[in-house]
Each structure stands twice: as C-alpha cells, then as structure tokens.
C-alpha cells in the first residue's frame, strides 16, 4: 500500500513537472472605482441617493501544448470582489475553464462556467465605459423611496438567457466568416453549478433543468461588420413550457461612426410569459482617446401594458493606463409599471494590471 502511494506521488510529481515545463502562466486583473447618483420619480415622492461603487478582479490563466495529436490547452479562473472592503461586498469565482484546442481545425472543447456564454452579447452599448447603460438605469428604478433596485423587463432577457453554471462547450472557428459557440449545461442553477463541490465531492444530483445555448457571431468576411444570431432553451418538466428565446443583431463601423441594432424575444417562464426587446446604439470616435455613445432599449412583456424605455449617453476617455467612463441614463415605466421612472449618472475610473 505504501509503495503504491509512493509510486503515485512520484508519477504525479513527474506529471506536474512536465506540465509546468510546457506551460505559460499569466496573472492579471483590473480595478474599477466609481461614483453613482440616482433619483426616482415615484407616486409617493422622490427617492434619491449616491454611493461609491467598486469592483476588483484577479485573472489567472495558463496555456501550453499537450503531448498528443498536436493539441493545445488553456485553463484559468477569475476571482472578483464587489462592494465594500470590510465584508459589505461579495466574492465571486468567475470564468472557470479548461479548454482542449485543435489549432489545425480551429476547434475548442471547453469544460467551463461563465466562459463560453454564446448568447450573452449586447451590441447596442458600444462604448461600454466599464458599466452597462441598462445596469446604470435600473439602479434608479426603486419601488419606493430608499428601496432596492427594481428588476427591469429588459433584465429578464438582457442576459440573453444563458446561465453561468458549469457545462460542456464547443467553439468552432469558421474561416474568416465568424465563430460558432455552443454550450450544454445539465444544471441551470449558476450558483450551484459545481454541485456540492465544497468538500471535493461531485456526487450530488441536480433537480434543475438543462439548458442548450448556441450562437454565431462574426464579420461574414466584411470589414467593419459584426452580426449575431443566437438561440437557447431551458427544458421544461411535465406540462411546463420550455423557456427559450432567440436574438439577432448587427453592428457596423464606418469611419469614426459605429451603429448597432439588436432584437430578442422569448418565453421567460414556464407560464408562457413572453418578452420582446429592441436595442439601438450609435457611437462616434471623436479622437483616438475619446468616444461618445448613445443607447436606447425598448422592452415589452406580454402581461404588462406599458413599454419600458431605457436611454443612455456614454463617454469613454482613455488616460493611458487608466480609463475614464461617464454614463448618464434614464428609465421610463420600469418593470412595466406606469410612472415608475428614474435617472442615474455613473462616473468611473478603471485600471488594468
């Protein structure tokens, strides 16, 4: 028994040494600090407030060659900390992956979480500025003065339906035309996607349904063009309806201008409630460091009367190693409630290291 353990340990050490000699490891990260002010126009009065925001993230990545078939691999994970430094925030593990890559065919097999995300694409928010316009606007839509954020209609489909739990993914490069991404997740609960892995055990089963997500994204060989087509479906059980949606989008850059349009519709719950969204984006690169953007998102829900509208102006400015972002956004009839309006402004500094 002892000899077996010693032999196994020696083999493991040899394997680790061989892997390290063929690998390249990088460690990086980013930090974003901002100031956000919001006000909500409500039936019962005006709710307003301001606060600092913070996000820090460490990224660890490793890549190298395998000793079979000319294959390569990539592996990595991210640790993100949001909110306060004294326990007020939350720590999240993101972008966990081990990829097996065939360079000759442009094929990648991925065992991962929060990595492939075929449908999680937003073309309309062109500038970005380290925060999304819809997130900034949603923060102004409180249900009452001092209350928390109201879930917007757009947020129900704004993540484009994909869960961030563990799954088996495939990425296939299609020449210079674009890339097909697909992932199958047996468990749609992103929070418990690793299934009882806290003690090193993966024996616990899942009672949630599976999801299949697939998308094509690429230029179709046209310079400045980007198109998107995606579909996903979460299986229903018994008489429950499947939760599914599809999305199409196009973005085109001509000179200093970039325009984008994206639409999505789908069934958001097993009761058959549907949501439709249309997004429009326009950006102007004034200089190599300064970009200005406009975003508008219209969303409707089948069992609600008012159409929800989100509008935003974004300014992105590069200070070299630090980026400055400003987003001013407003929302009307948030969550399909008439008169539930609000506005926000978000200023941020971001550094990458």
Return the CATH number at 88. Answer: 2.40.160.10
Q: Which residues contact 238 (CB under 8 A, 6 or more apart)?
A: none
Residue at 6 is within a domain: no
DSSP designation for 179:
E
Residue 279 covered by a domain: yes
Tokens of 176: 């210079």
Q: Residue range 293-319: average pLDDT?
A: 93
Look at residue 60 and tell me if it is in a domain: yes
Neighbours of 46 (CB within 10 A): 10
Q: Quick check: is 313 in a domain?
A: yes
**Which residues contact residue 326 at a Cβ distance below 8 angstroms, ignoring those fewer than 6 apart?**
129, 314, 315, 345, 346, 347, 348
Q: What value, to the nearest 5°, has the Cα angle with vertex 161 and ends 157 and 166? A: 150
pLDDT of residue 223: 95
Contact between 350 and 39 (Cβ < 8 Å): no
Length of the chain: 353
Residue 75 CA to residue 233 CA, distance in Å, equals: 27
pLDDT in tens, 165-212: 788 999 999 999 999 999 998 866 544 444 434 443 444 445 567 888
Residue 5 lies in a domain: no
Average pLDDT over residues 316-336: 91
CA neighbours closer than 13 Å in the CB half-sphere of residue 233: 6
Could you tell me the residue range of the domain that residue 172 belongs to? 26-352
pLDDT of residue 94 exceeding 60: yes
Looking at residue 342, its pLDDT comes to 85
**What token pair was written down for 331?**
């929302």
Radius of gyration (C-alpha) of the chain in whole angstroms: 23
Residue carrying structure tokens 């500025």: 129
Predicted confidence (pLDDT) per residue in 243-296, tens digit:
788 999 999 999 999 999 999 998 877 777 889 999 999 999 999 999 999 999
- Residues 285 and 256: beta-carbon distance below 8 Å: yes
Strand partners, 36: 51, 346
What is the per-residue pLDDT across 6-36, written as a single tens digit (0 to 9) for each? Answer: 444 444 444 444 444 456 899 999 999 999 8
Q: Within a domain: residue 14?
A: no
Pair 64, 73: CB distance under 8 Å: yes
Number of domains in the chain: 1
Higher pLDDT, 50 or 2: 50
Give me the mean pLDDT over the 135-159 stretch.
Answer: 65
**Percent of the chain surpassing pLDDT 90:** 46
Residue 128 falls within a domain, yes or no?
yes
Model confidence pLDDT, tens digit, residues 207-247: 567 888 999 999 999 999 999 999 988 876 666 667 788 99
Instruction: Please tell me the predicted confidence (pLDDT) of residue 267.
Output: 85
DSSP 9: H
**What does the DSSP 8-state code read for residue 136?**
H
Return d(Cα 130, Cα 53) in angstroms, integer.
Answer: 12
Instruction: Give the pLDDT score at 197.
Output: 44
- Give a yes or no: residue 127 inside a domain: yes
Q: Give exposure, 178-199, as e/b (b: 16+ Cβ within 10 Å).
A: bebbbbebbbbeeeebebeeee
Q: Phi first, then psi: what are they for 81, rounded to 5°?
A: -125, 125
- pLDDT over 80 at 83, yes or no: no
* Alpha carbon distance 341, 353 (integer Å): 38
Q: Which residue has the higher pLDDT, 326 or 203?
A: 326
Whether residue 85 has pLDDT greater than 50: yes
Provide the pLDDT for residue 173.
97
pTM of the model: 0.82
3 state SS of 121? coil
């Amino acid at each position: 028994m002892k000899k077996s353990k010693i032999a196994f340990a020696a083999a493991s050490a040899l394997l680790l040494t061989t892997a390290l000699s063929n690998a390249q490891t990088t460690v990086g990260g980013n930090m974003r600090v901002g100031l956000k002010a919001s006000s909500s126009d409500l039936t019962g009065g005006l709710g307003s407030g301001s606060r600092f925001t913070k996000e820090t993230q460490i990224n660890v990545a490793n890549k190298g060659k395998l000793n079979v078939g000319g294959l390569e691999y990539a592996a990595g994970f991210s640790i993100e900390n949001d909110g306060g430094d004294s326990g007020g925030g939350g720590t999240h593990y993101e972008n966990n992956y081990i990829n097996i890559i065939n360079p000759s065919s442009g094929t990648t097999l991925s065992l991962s979480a929060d990595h492939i995300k075929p449908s999680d694409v937003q073309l309309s928010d062109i500038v970005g500025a380290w925060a999304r316009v819809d997130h900034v606007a949603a923060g102004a839509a409180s249900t009452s003065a001092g209350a928390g954020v109201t879930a917007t209609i757009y947020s129900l489909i704004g993540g484009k339906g994909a869960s961030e739990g563990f799954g088996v993914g495939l990425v296939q490069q299609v020449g210079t035309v674009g890339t097909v991404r697909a992932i199958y997740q047996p468990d749609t609960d992103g929070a418990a996607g690793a299934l009882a892995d806290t003690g090193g055990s993966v024996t616990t089963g899942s009672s949630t349904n599976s999801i299949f997500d697939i998308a094509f994204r690429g230029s179709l060989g046209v310079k400045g063009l980007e198109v998107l087509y995606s579909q996903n479906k979460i299986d229903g059980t018994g008489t429950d309806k499947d939760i599914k949606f599809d999305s199409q989008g196009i973005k085109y850059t001509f000179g200093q201008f970039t325009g984008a349009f994206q639409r999505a519709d789908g069934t958001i719950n097993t009761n058959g409630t549907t949501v439709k969204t249309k997004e429009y984006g326009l950006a102007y690169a004034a200089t190599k460091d300064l970009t200005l953007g406009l975003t508008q998102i219209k969303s409707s829900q089948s069992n609600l009367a008012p159409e929800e509208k989100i509008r935003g102006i974004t300014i992105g400015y590069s200070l070299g190693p630090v980026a400055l972002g400003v987003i001013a956004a407003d929302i009307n009839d948030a969550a399909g409630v008439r008169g539930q309006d609000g506005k926000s402004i978000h200023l941020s500094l971001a550094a990458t290291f």
